[in-house]
Amino acid sequence: MNGITFTGIKNIGACGFSRKIPNSEHAIVKNNLILQLTDDYNGRDLTSFEEVIKNCNAKKWFRNFPEDNRIIHIMTEYQTDLSKEVESIYPSLYLNYNPVPVNKETLPLFSYIAKLTRRIFNMKDSEFKRDSDFVYGPIGRICLIPEYDMLAIAKNLKYKFRNFMNEVPFSNQSSRQFAEKINENINKQMIDYLR
């Protein structure tokens, strides 16, 4: 690929998982989204994100990826009651593996991420752009789910690695699905804070 995108967002990957809490009827649910932002002739997505980070005084808790400051990892986490299949605790937002506190300073960041995830779940197939170095390289393998290697997951599920990456975390459908879930979780957090 030549590195040019048409949306300012590329290399979108997503997945989610839940883990039952031992001796409990609850599970922890985590929805993960990874992507790269760029500035291009259609917009300044990377610059806009950097301005939001700067304006919400995020240097206290935000860290860039050392490999590439254009990479953003977004995760929401919440508990669900397995016996009732309802969320029992409002979700938490994590950005590049760091918890984002909900407060007056960070509301613009929540709003930015809500708009970004809305854009992703409304993207057409033709708008998704992915670089093979990103998807099959170290970023795609180990940065999508903290503490998990996608190669090991693919082997465990008896998938060929490239097929797994294309059909599961880096599929357009997964990207849309988890962007929408994250969007819902972020909106719940903002509504709860503003009450």
**pTM confidence score:** 0.89
- For residues 73 and 165, give the distance between their C-alpha atoms in angstroms, rounded to a whole number: 17
Mean pLDDT per segment of 10 residues, for the chain of length 195 residues? 57 92 87 92 85 84 78 92 68 91 92 96 95 93 87 92 93 97 94 89
Q: Where are the domains of the chain?
A: 9-194
Q: Per residue in 18-35, pLDDT tens?
A: 888 888 888 889 999 999
**Helix or strand (DSSP H, E) at 74:** strand 71-81
Question: Can you name the residues that pair with 92 across neighbouring β-strands?
Answer: 77
Using CA atoms in the order 187, 49, 46, 129, what is the torsion angle rounded to 10 degrees? -10
- Nearest C-alpha neighbor of 94 from the set 126, 62, 69, 64: 62
Q: Name the CA radius of gyration of the chain, rounded.
A: 17
